[in-house]
Amino acid sequence: MSDHHDEIARLLAALGEPEPPNALRERALGRAQGVWPRPTADRWIALWTSRPLRIAWAGAVAALVVANVAVRVARRAPTPSAASQGAGDSRQLQAITALPRLRPEYANAFGAGPAASAPAATPARRGSEDKS
C-alpha cells in the first residue's frame, strides 16, 4: 500500500497552480482602463484656462463697480424738499403743520391741572371698632 500512497503524493506534488494565459493580463488591464472613469476637469481650472470666460468675468466685475459708483453718486445729488419749494408754499405748509394752542379753560376741564384739588379724606369715627 505504500506504493499507492507514494504515487498519489508524487502526483499531488506535481500538480501546481496552472499559469494564466500570457495575453490575459493585457486584455484585463485594457478593458479595465476602458471602463475606468476619466477624471473630469475642475470647473475653476476650466474657467481660468478659458480666455473668453476670463474676459466675461472681468467685464462683469467692471460693470458691478461702475454700477456701485453710479448709485453712490446718485445718492449725493440734492433732492428738493417740500419746505424749499417757495415762499408761497411755506405759508401753506406752516398752516398745515401748526398745532393750535390749548386754551387755559380746556387744560383744567377734567381736573388734571394745578387748579384741581385732591379729594378730602374722611375722618375716622370714634368708638367704631372692627369686631371681626
Single-letter amino acid, residue 125:
R
Q: Are 83 and 90 contacting, i.e. CB atoms less than 8 angstroms apart? A: yes
- Please list the rounded mean pLDDT of every run of 10 residues in the chain (132 residues): 78 79 88 80 80 92 96 75 59 76 70 52 57 57
List CB contacts of 47: < 8 A, sequence separation 6 or more. Answer: 53, 54, 57
pLDDT of residue 82: 53
Domain range annotation of the chain: 43-70
Residues 6+ apart with CB under 8 A from 114: 108
Rounded to two decimals, what is the model's pTM?
A: 0.31
Alpha carbon distance 48, 41 (integer Å): 12
Q: What is the pLDDT at residue 48?
A: 80
